[in-house]
Amino acid sequence: MKWFQKSHIIFSVMVFLMIGLISYFGLLIIQYPLIGIDVEQRNGNWVVEQVYDKGWAARNPIEKGDIVQLINGIDPDEHKTVARFHYLEKAKSITIIDQQAYTNTYAVSYTSEDIQLIIYLLLPILFCLSTFLLGLYFYYGKKEEKNSVMILIAFLFSLGLCYLSAPASARADLIGRITVTMTFPGSLILLIHFLKNYFQQYHLYFVKGSSIKRLYIAYFLLLIALSSNFLFGKIHSFMRMVELGFFIFLVCFLIFLLTRLNIRHKNSEGKVIIQILSTAFVIGFSPFVILYAVPHIFWGRALLSAEITSMFLLIIPLAFVYLQIAEKLFDIEFLLGRLQYYALLSFSFTIFSTIILALTFKIRFISSSAFLFSLFVFIGSILFLYIKEFIDYRMRHHLFSRKNHVESNLYTFFQKTKHETKVERFIEKLMIEVKEVLRVREVHYLKVEESKDLDTWTVQNKRTFSSTSFINEIEQVDWKNCHPGLLIEVRTGFCVVIGENHQMKEVIFCGLKKHKTTLNIQEKIWLKNIAYFSSILLENFQLIEGLFKEIEHYHKKKQVENDSYPSWLSRLLFSLSEKERMNLSIDLHDTILQDQFQLLRDIESIEIKITDPILKNELYLIKETVLDNIHLIRETCNELRPPFLNELGLIQSIQNLIKRVKLSSNFLLHAELDSTIQKIKPEYELTIYRVFQELLNNAMKHSKASVVKISLKNKDEGLILTYLDNGIGICMSELNDSFKTMGIYGIKERVRCMGGEIEIESAPNNGFKVQIIFKQGVN
């Protein structure tokens, strides 16, 4: 509470000070136009030393060397701005003796078309009010972390006052001079201080506290040097260079800190925040540093005024507002990538435009005017490209018809054909799509094959076409190095490769448009893209069709010759079966099992409220039934999907299986698992587990045995699985021969597809014995 009261008092003082200074500087700028005259005292007279281009004096016949006789009707020695700073400002009237000894009195005032009111009053007032309102927003909208917020508010107020006090300082106002001197470098130090606390909240190191202290010490030393200079005399140009140099150093230091932070945390979740702030600071400070500060230091003249370049600083507080209110951050990396692309496009246009301007108006190509023109054209071109991209996204669906909107057609086509599996049907749909979108007269599907002499190509399906005028052109093309997606232009149309196989190319030929016009660039790109993606689909379709034909061949061969499926096919089918088992297990666990748990909780909640013993007993029986169902569903899920097979390994999983069987079976189970078996190849683990599972299930359901023995032993680099029971046995000719069930035939198929050997011995009333050998399996 005490801290809140303290911060409230500080904030109130800052607000009143801000309002007072805004009012004072605003009235000062309205009352006194910027005159723009430097004077020097010579032989007892005040002589015009320099007339600035942007001041009132530049529009009047006042020249260097003229003598200032009176200011506001009094001697110039008594005018404060002249006596203190050697600037002729804050005057309503001026009496000048020109070099021809003529005396002229001028009334100083704004004109109706004076741009000073915009540059030195309207823009600074708007900027300052914006920072003031943002400060209010942060104070009342951010209740936590008051220490960081107060520093941010101080930065915003300081930035706004710096901008507004600059015109007052130019009018040689003492309060304006003091304000701009304090806020110009001070606002940047406050920003660095705030960023230290801001990133510290996210556990990101930005800068040491000792470095902040050193910056404040350097700042106060600079203030002492500057104040001793302008309080007692004219500010030397050297001290102004020192002030600008210190500001440039702070900007470079800030960019260095942000770059270091970005490199250290480029893979962290906060990288987007760092990139957004870095971009905002670069855009905000670069115009002032590049176009004003650096040229002013080295050449004594800025390329663009401080009032214009400082407007970009408003981007910085707006970036903080965006980070506070945005639920989702925009993709800054995408925008920066686009910036590189757009800058490359704009650069050539800018150079061309500057050359045309220089030749037309006879302006030196290397001059400040040409540079400013180039800068505005370059930035304007980039902004235009960004705006165009946004407008294309928002309005393209309305500006173009479906037939011309080829990007949308590309997406729609593959959506329509994603479930297609027949090659002929896909090619037919592709030809229809090409004809509708490109509006060409004819579309044909061709098979072009290389001749045996390896020099010519022949269209194999030429007999299917009624018109063969285009066939000769296609056969003259050397298709050897033509790959899917490549567009070939012939006299009567276009060819695009959609598939290739050994010495044969699959080609789509489309004629010219209805008015015999060629394809435009957008249509060519669309045709290349749809051909390339279609080639991938066609290749997959052909593989699937080949697989189906091969499976059908083996199925017919099996029916005729009573042969087995090849091992690769069995492995594929078992893999698909296991996937379906896993999906079914997940569905049972996530739906029915969870419903049973919810039903159990509902029964328990009702049971607490009931006092009738008969109803309690009935609820107890229902509860037990639900528990049995839960247990049964869990067991089913475990059978469908071996629990923790990958995590526990094969041996531990089999031991868990044996424990469950012992609890539910009515025979003695002797299991022997070789302890030397540590690591088994993954492809063998599931097969062995399923064989164990099926053998024990058969023992419980069909064997009627009293004793069952099962073992798994290590032999060389292989494994031996042995099963033996004293049950009723089975006639060998009656073994289940259906692949659809997990009977003995299923066990035989699993073992065979993994390259194992299986021997089965059984007879009626003489038990059942199985021995399985995997010659490989142990890593």
Of the residues 487, 515, 545, the one at which a domain ends: 545
Q: Are strands 668-673 and 707-715 parallel, antiparallel or unpaired?
A: parallel
The verdict on 162 and 221 lying in the same domain is yes
Name the residue with higher pLDDT: 228 or 480.
480
Local confidence band at 116 (pLDDT 50, 70, 90 cut-offs): low
Residue 378: predicted pLDDT: 84
Residue 398: predicted pLDDT: 42
> Residue 735: pLDDT above 60?
yes
Instruction: For residue range 301-319, list pLDDT tens digits in order.
Output: 777 777 777 778 878 877 8
Of the residues 585, 611, 641, the one at which a domain ends: 641
Query: Which CATH number characterizes residue 445's domain?
Result: 3.30.450.40
Q: What's the whole-number mean pLDDT along residues 270-292?
A: 82
Q: Which of 169-183, 434-448, 629-643 has the lowest mean pLDDT?
A: 629-643
- Would you tell me the crossing angle of helices 123-141 and 2-31 to the nearest 10 degrees? 170
Q: Which of 356-370, 388-402, 445-459, 758-772 has the lowest mean pLDDT?
A: 388-402
Name the residue with higher pLDDT: 606 or 725.
725
Alpha-carbon distance 569 to 554, whole Å?
9
Residue 20: predicted pLDDT: 93
Local confidence band at 403 (pLDDT 50, 70, 90 cut-offs): very low
Instruction: For residue range 76-105, list pLDDT tens digits in order.
Output: 888 888 888 888 888 999 999 888 888 889
User: Is residue 22 included in any domain, yes or no?
Assistant: no
Residue 173: predicted pLDDT: 86
> Residue 494: pLDDT above 80?
yes
Alpha-carbon distance 744 to 729, whole Å?
13
To the nearest whole percent, how much of the chain has pLDDT over 70?
A: 80
Residue 382: predicted pLDDT: 83
Residue 397: predicted pLDDT: 46
Instruction: For residue range 748-773, list pLDDT tens digits in order.
Output: 877 877 778 888 888 888 889 999 88
Residue 707: predicted pLDDT: 92
Query: By C-alpha distance, which of 2, 115, 97, 90 is closest to 47?
Result: 97
The verdict on 625 and 655 lying in the same domain is no
DSSP state letter for 456 = -
> Residue 134: pLDDT above 80?
yes
Instruction: For residue range 621-666, list pLDDT tens digits in order.
Output: 888 888 888 877 777 766 666 656 666 778 888 888 888 888 888 8
The verdict on 449 and 516 lying in the same domain is yes
Local confidence band at 512 (pLDDT 50, 70, 90 cut-offs): confident
Local confidence band at 114 (pLDDT 50, 70, 90 cut-offs): low
User: Is residue 152 included in any domain, yes or no?
Assistant: yes
> Residue 396: pLDDT above 60?
no
Alpha-carbon distance 312 to 247, whole Å?
16
Query: By C-alpha distance, which of 694, 659, 680, 422 is closest to 574?
Result: 694
Structure tokens at 382: 């980039």
The verdict on 349 and 489 lying in the same domain is no
Supply φ then ψ for residue 677, to 5 degrees: -80, 110
- Using CA atoms, how far residue 713 sits from 25, 351, 699, 706, 717, in Å, is 95, 81, 21, 23, 11
The pTM (predicted TM-score) of the whole model is 0.53
Local confidence band at 501 (pLDDT 50, 70, 90 cut-offs): confident
Q: How many domains does the chain have?
A: 5
User: Is residue 66 included in any domain, yes or no?
Assistant: no
What single string gives the DSSP state of each residue in 479-532?
-TT--TT-EEEETTEEEEEEEEETTEEEEEEEE-BTTSPPP-HHHHHHHHHHHH
> Residue 551: pLDDT above 70?
no
Local confidence band at 608 (pLDDT 50, 70, 90 cut-offs): confident
Given a contact cutoff of 8 angstroms between Cβ atoms, the answer to whether 644 and 686 are in contact is no
Local confidence band at 462 (pLDDT 50, 70, 90 cut-offs): confident
Which of 229-238, 624-633, 698-707 is the most confident on average?
698-707
The verdict on 687 and 635 lying in the same domain is no
Q: What's the whole-number mean pLDDT along residues 356-377?
A: 75
The verdict on 390 and 469 lying in the same domain is no
Query: Which CATH number characterizes residue 213's domain?
Result: 1.20.1070
Local confidence band at 738 (pLDDT 50, 70, 90 cut-offs): very low
Residue 402: predicted pLDDT: 46
Q: What's the whole-number mean pLDDT along residues 404-430?
A: 71
Name the residue with higher pLDDT: 356 or 638.
356
> Residue 329: pLDDT above 60?
no
> Residue 33: pLDDT above 90?
no
> Residue 500: pLDDT above 50?
yes
The verdict on 319 and 458 lying in the same domain is no
The verdict on 228 and 346 lying in the same domain is no
Name the residue with higher pLDDT: 236 or 472.
472
Half-sphere exposure of 48 (CA within 13 A, CB side): 25
Residue 136: predicted pLDDT: 86
> Residue 185: pLDDT above 60?
yes
User: Is residue 87 included in any domain, yes or no?
Assistant: no
Q: Which of 151-160, 212-221, 305-314, 710-719 has the lowest mean pLDDT?
A: 305-314
Residue with tokens 């002729």: 88
Beta-bridge partners for 452: none
Residue 570: predicted pLDDT: 58
The verdict on 261 and 326 lying in the same domain is yes
Distance of CA 568 to the CA centre of its chain: 42
Query: Which CATH number characterizes residue 716's domain?
Result: 3.30.565.10
> Residue 565: pLDDT above 70?
no
Chain mean pLDDT for the chain: 79
Alpha-carbon distance 724 to 705, whole Å?
10
Of the residues 330, 357, 389, the one at which a domain ends: 330
Residue 555: predicted pLDDT: 57
Order across the sheet with 768-774: list the strands.
668-673, 707-715, 718-725, 768-774, 757-762
The verdict on 710 and 760 lying in the same domain is yes
Distance of CA 614 to the CA centre of its chain: 64
Residue 708: predicted pLDDT: 92
User: Is residue 48 included in any domain, yes or no?
Assistant: no
Query: By C-alpha distance, which of 716, 693, 691 is closest to 771?
Result: 691
Residue 16: predicted pLDDT: 93
The verdict on 440 and 502 lying in the same domain is yes
Residue 1: predicted pLDDT: 47
User: Is residue 31 included in any domain, yes or no?
Assistant: no
Q: What's the whole-number mean pLDDT along residues 689-699?
A: 86
Name the residue with higher pLDDT: 430 or 371.
430
User: Is residue 431 included in any domain, yes or no?
Assistant: yes
User: Is residue 28 included in any domain, yes or no?
Assistant: no
Range of the domain at 213: 116-330
The verdict on 663 and 767 lying in the same domain is yes
